């Protein structure tokens, strides 16, 4: 008879690795002017319509579009997203773009990694759980997809896991 181990929250260690969030500043932005005046930018309109603005602390990258829409990546918390957006607004002010609203931040997805204090039998899990993909000859992890909430987990036999949560 097999004995199942109950895994408690204390046995599970998850760490947010990345948050992708979007917002609109509701102001047009001259990407050419921003690229010419700010050293932490990359802009090549022939290959991509947005400008990449890199922030040192917290380390992140923001895609800035001429419409004033922003996509923030690389942060590990919503408070860091707010901080990065504030820094972008300050840089935009230097080129004459005065944002008068408090931008509404929308988290699009969250990536976390972690481990559970348990070895996993991926063959058994692939048979017992719905919505799994497991082909050990191709990839050593099991892909487990949930519909509600929309999430994908990569599970490994040593108990390590990666999760991707998509906010709908």
Backbone angles phi, psi at 42, to 5 degrees: -135, 130
Q: Are residues 124 and 149 in the same domain?
A: yes
Q: Give first-to-last CA distance, the chain, whole Å.
A: 42
* Host domain of residue 136: 116-166
Q: Are residues 24 and 103 in the same domain?
A: yes
The whole-angstrom separation of Cα 121 and Cα 126 is 9
Q: Residue 1: its pLDDT value, please?
A: 37
What token pair was written down for 76? 């590990």
Q: Residue 2: its pLDDT value, please?
A: 41
Q: Residue 43: its pLDDT value, please?
A: 98
Backbone angles phi, psi at 41, to 5 degrees: -125, 155
Q: Residue 117: its pLDDT value, please?
A: 85
pLDDT per residue rounded down to tens, the chain (168 residues): 343 444 445 556 789 999 999 999 999 999 999 999 999 999 999 999 999 999 999 999 999 999 999 999 999 999 999 999 999 999 999 999 999 999 999 999 999 999 988 999 999 999 999 999 999 999 999 999 999 889 999 999 999 999 998 886
Mark which of 107, 128, 153 sits at the end of a domain.
Answer: 107
Question: Is 15 among the domain residues?
Answer: no
Question: Is 64 among the domain residues?
Answer: yes
CATH of the domain at 76: 3.30.310.10
The whole-angstrom separation of Cα 13 and Cα 60 is 24
CB 164 within 8 A of CB 151: yes
What token pair was written down for 66? 């001429």
Q: Residue 167: its pLDDT value, please?
A: 80
Q: Residue 11: its pLDDT value, please?
A: 57
What token pair was written down for 150? 């929309």
Q: Are residues 124 and 95 in the same domain?
A: no
Q: Are residues 103 and 128 in the same domain?
A: no
Q: Residue 3: its pLDDT value, please?
A: 39
Q: Are residues 103 and 120 in the same domain?
A: no
The whole-angstrom separation of Cα 73 and Cα 22 is 9
Q: Are residues 138 and 66 in the same domain?
A: no
What token pair was written down for 78? 């919503």
């Amino acid at each position: 008879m097999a004995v199942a181990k109950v895994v408690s929250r204390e046995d599970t260690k998850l760490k947010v690795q990345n948050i992708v969030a979007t917002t609109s500043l509701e102001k047009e932005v001259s990407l050419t002017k921003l690229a010419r005046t700010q050293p932490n930018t990359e802009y090549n309109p022939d290959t991509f319509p947005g400008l990449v603005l890199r922030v040192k602390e917290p380390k992140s990258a923001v895609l800035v579009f001429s419409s004033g829409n922003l996509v923030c990546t690389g942060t590990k918390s919503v408070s860091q997203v707010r901080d990065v957006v504030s820094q972008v607004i300050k840089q935009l002010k230097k080129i004459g773009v005065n944002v008068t609203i408090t931008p509404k931040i929308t988290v699009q997805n969250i990536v976390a990694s972690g481990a559970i204090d348990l070895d996993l039998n991926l063959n058994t899990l692939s048979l017992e759980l719905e919505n799994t993909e497991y082909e050990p000859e191709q990839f050593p992890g099991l892909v487990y997809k949930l519909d509600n909430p929309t999430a994908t987990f990569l599970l490994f036999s040593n108990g390590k896991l990666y999760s991707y949560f998509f906010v709908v």
